[in-house]
Amino acid sequence: MRLDGKTAVIIGAGQGPTTGDIIGNGRATALTFAREGARVLCVDRHLASAEETAAMIRDKGGVAEAAAADVTDETSLKAAVESCGKRWGRLDILDNNVGVSVEFGDAPMDSVTAEAFGKIMEINLFGCILACRHALPIMRAQGAGSIINISSASAYWTGHPTVTYPASKLAMVGFTRQLAIQNADRGVRANAILPGLMNTPMAVDRRMQFTGRSRQDIEAERHAKVPLNNRMGDAWDVANAALFLASDEARFVSGIELPVDGASMARVG
């Protein structure tokens, strides 16, 4: 019960359809936090998906509610974040778990459009900033809080096939550092997690959709690229890293980037 008595807001706690028996980072984190004693507000732009995650938590005896919010709609996002404090009297943990890429038009340098670049930056970066904006007054007032932003190891990889996704995720790292130092005197910590090649619906199902390749083929290709045991991580690896950063065990940890990538970033450069 490492999060006993704490409340958490998970942005992106729902999950789209998947053809495999895999789970996304947001849902895995919500389930993990609840298992460790947190009361969890599951937030997603698809309310039914957020409700599904919340129901999975309640089925295991945990405490969870669901709320709908689109990270590009500040009114809905503000209402969802603030509702945690109103519902449970505190907001201890904010986990920002949203990211899009090719499905919103991300592309290589010679073909990416201004419209696609702006939309992806709005979702991946500014949506995170807005969620933090509305969580911070509650955390500052209580003198404590942990913000966890899910960036990506692609922020530092060379040769990434698209422009906007890695740019947005590297910008998130810079934002997280500023968030940490600007709120340290108020007891609020901020850290980023950098997942590497993961076996999640966003990573694998999206490639199936856009390439027409089989799950087995895509998984085998991605496994082979990972230094640690030639095997991708999964959402539970990201969730366990978030659990540490959210817990009091990380009370002196702020402003860091934590790779969860099977040693992939160790060979950068």
Instruction: State the catalytic residue, choosing from 88, 126, 156, 165.
Output: 165
Residue 44 forms beta bridges with which residues? 68
Q: Is 165 a catalytic residue?
A: yes
Least Cα distance to 265 among 223, 219, 228 occurs for 228
Least Cα distance to 69 among 135, 136, 17 occurs for 135
The torsion angles phi and psi of 78, rounded to 5 degrees, stand at -60, -45
Q: How far apart are CA 214 and CA 188, in angstroms?
A: 44
Q: Give the residue numbers annotated as catalytic, written as ranges.
A: 165
